[in-house]
Amino acid sequence: MPELSTEKMLDFLRKRARNRPEKTAEHFLTGLFHKKLSGLWLKFARIPKEKKSGNSDGGRTPAPDLADQRI
C-alpha cells in the first residue's frame, strides 16, 4: 500500500487486529493482500497461520510481527 507510511500502515493493522481478535493470522490479511503473498509474509516472519490476531498472548499481533521484518 504505497500511499500509506509505515506508521500509518502499522496503526491500520493494529486497529484491524483489535477489531477482529478472533481472526487467525492467515485470515487477518485476507482482503488486503493476495493469499499467496500473505502466506509468504507469515512464513518469513515465522508467524503460524493459526495464530489469533487478538491479544491473548500479551498483545502481540501479526501487525508488529510483520513490521519487525525487513524485506
Considering its fold, how many domains does the chain have in total? 1
63 belongs to a structural domain = yes
35 belongs to a structural domain = yes
Give, as one character, the DSSP assignment of residue 33: B
Whole-angstrom Cα distance, residue 3 to residue 18?
23
12 belongs to a structural domain = yes
43 belongs to a structural domain = yes
pLDDT in tens, 10-47: 888 888 888 888 888 888 888 888 888 888 988 888 88
Domain that holds residue 40: 6-67
Residue 59, sorted as left (phi over 0), alpha (psi -120 to 50) or beta, turns out to be: left
1 belongs to a structural domain = no
Total-model pTM: 0.62
Confidence band, pLDDT 50/70/90 cuts, at residue 71: very low
10 belongs to a structural domain = yes
Query: Is 69's pLDDT higher than 60?
Result: no
Range list of H helices, the chain: 6-19, 25-28, 35-44, 62-67
pLDDT in tens, 45-54: 888 888 887 7
41 belongs to a structural domain = yes
